[in-house]
């Protein structure tokens, strides 16, 4: 480990600037009541000595860290494999940086580590938390509440009853799913299947509800549970073809699963969209343009969701109340 020079002290700054300790302390903590020429002298001394105020001590008083934690309730391998998270983080990073707040991403190997994340959040290291990809039985929300840090969720938490004490940013998952299925029905398809996301997440549940809004409960064999990954989409598509070989349309709950479904359909010699029309959800570029054929999908603005989460937490988006963003149908060749 790097051996370091001793850190310059408040006393050293006071001596260099020719002022009292109390004056240095007031300037460093942004307090008023110090005359401008003295402020200037202290600032110069701080700079020359490379003085760093002891934030641990200071933050006990001010309770400000200018740092926001981001917790993705997935193993770090998934965080780096699924471009959804990179996009959401991009929006968050831009917004936090614009307000000179440090993005503190807390990575884990899985749910077993969430108690440790709760301890870090409770430890007085951040001013708030942005939490996304929650699963229903995750202990994290309880831990966060105990930690007592202001929190904005990405995606509606499963326990939220619509009251104002939980703030989240979400897309209109149910409305978007309805648009997707309606599009398939309007193309004249009659055996429309659905590959769901992980059903312990509200986004997956809401998209399934939207599917049912249009298709009713007819044909439970046409609904197969996936997990939002390309491999999950492949497995679900194989299962669907076994259960219902004459399926003529598939709505996958995200683009990654749709890309997996397309691979299986090609393997089995089904033409898309002639034999089977496929539609996804997200409009995840470049995935949607690189599939063969390019993917029709429901667009949600993932980067904007991240930006809005950060704004709600920082209080720069007006009154802090939840936001649900509209989705739009993007037509390409697959449906």
Contact between 21 and 12 (Cβ < 8 Å): no
CA 118 to chain centroid, in Å, comes to 18
Stretch that binds a copy of itself, among 22-30, 58-66, 239-247, 326-334 (CB under 8 A): 58-66
Angle between helix axes 21-28 and 36-49 (nearest 10 degrees) is 90
Binding mask 311-330 toward a copy of itself (x if CB under 8 A, else -) reads -xx------x----------
Contact between 51 and 10 (Cβ < 8 Å): yes
- Alpha-carbon distance of 16 to 7, in angstroms, equals 15
Binding mask 90-119 toward a copy of itself (x if CB under 8 A, else -) reads x--xx--x--x-xxxxxxxx---x--xxxx
Contact between 53 and 28 (Cβ < 8 Å): yes
Among 10, 12, 38, 67, binds a copy of itself (CB under 8 A): 67
- Alpha-carbon distance of 287 to 249, in angstroms, equals 20
Phi, psi (degrees; rounded to nearest 5) at 225:
-80, 130
Stated as kind and residue range, the H or E segment containing 169 is: strand 168-171
Q: Does 161 bind a copy of itself (CB under 8 A)?
A: no
Among 14, 144, 177, 276, binds a copy of itself (CB under 8 A): 144
The least CB distance from residue 82 to a copy of itself, in Å, is 11
Quick one: 108 or 300, whose CB is closer to a copy of itself?
108
Q: Does 80 bind a copy of itself (CB under 8 A)?
A: yes
Tell me, by CB under 8 A, how many residues bind a copy of itself: 63
Strand duo 296-299 + 328-330: pairing: antiparallel
Q: Identify the CA nearest to 180 among candidates 214, 206, 156.
A: 214
Among 29, 31, 52, 331, binds a copy of itself (CB under 8 A): 52
Q: Which residues pair with 130 in a beta bridge?
A: 70, 152
Q: Does 310 bind a copy of itself (CB under 8 A)?
A: no
Among 25, 38, 39, 59, binds a copy of itself (CB under 8 A): 59
Stretch that binds a copy of itself, among 10-18, 138-146, 186-194, 231-239 (CB under 8 A): 138-146
Binding mask 2-21 toward a copy of itself (x if CB under 8 A, else -) reads xxxx-xx-------------
Q: Identify the CA nearest to 298 among candidates 134, 193, 184.
A: 184
Among 123, 221, 271, 328, binds a copy of itself (CB under 8 A): 123
Q: Identify the CA nearest to 220 among candidates 239, 200, 235.
A: 239
Residue ranges in contact with a copy of itself by CB under 8 A? 1-5, 7-8, 50, 52, 54-57, 59-60, 65-67, 76-77, 80, 83, 86, 89-90, 93-94, 97, 100, 102-109, 113, 116-120, 122-125, 128, 142, 144-148, 150-152, 165-167, 312-313, 320
């Amino acid at each position: 480990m790097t051996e370091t020079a001793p850190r310059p002290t408040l006393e050293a700054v006071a001596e260099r600037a020719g002022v009292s300790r109390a004056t240095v302390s007031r300037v460093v903590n942004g307090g008023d009541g110090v005359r401008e020429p003295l402020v200037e002298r202290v600032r110069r001394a701080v700079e020359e000595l490379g003085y760093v105020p002891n934030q641990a001590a200071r933050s006990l008083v001010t309770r400000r860290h200018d740092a926001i934690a981001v917790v993705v309730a997935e193993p770090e391998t998934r965080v780096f494999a699924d471009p959804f998270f990179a996009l959401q983080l991009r929006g968050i990073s831009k917004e936090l940086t614009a307000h000179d707040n440090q993005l503190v991403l807390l990575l884990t190997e899985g749910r077993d580590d969430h108690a440790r994340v709760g301890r870090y959040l409770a430890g007085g290291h951040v001013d708030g938390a942005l939490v996304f990809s929650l699963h229903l039985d995750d202990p994290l929300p309880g831990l966060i509440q105990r930690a007592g840090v202001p929190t904005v969720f990405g995606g509606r938490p499963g326990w939220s009853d619509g009251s104002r004490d939980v703030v989240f940013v979400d897309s209109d998952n149910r409305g978007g799913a309805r648009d997707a299925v309606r599009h398939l029905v309007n193309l004249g398809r009659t055996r429309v299947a659905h590959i769901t996301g992980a059903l312990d997440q509200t986004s997956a549940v809401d998209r399934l509800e939207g599917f049912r809004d249009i298709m009713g409960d007819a044909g439970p064999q046409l609904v197969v549970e996936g997990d939002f990954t390309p491999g999950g989409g492949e497995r679900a598509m194989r299962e669907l073809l076994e259960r219902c070989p004459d399926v003529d349309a598939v709505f996958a709950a995200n683009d990654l699963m749709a890309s997996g479904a397309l691979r299986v359909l090609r393997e089995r010699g089904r033409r898309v969209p002639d034999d089977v029309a496929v539609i996804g959800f997200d409009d995840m570029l470049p995935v949607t343009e690189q599939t063969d054929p390019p993917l029709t999908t429901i667009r949600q603005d993932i980067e904007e969701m991240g930006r809005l989460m950060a704004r709600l937490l920082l209080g720069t988006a007006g009154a802090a109340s939840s936001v649900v963003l509209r989705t739009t149908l993007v037509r390409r060749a697959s449906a």
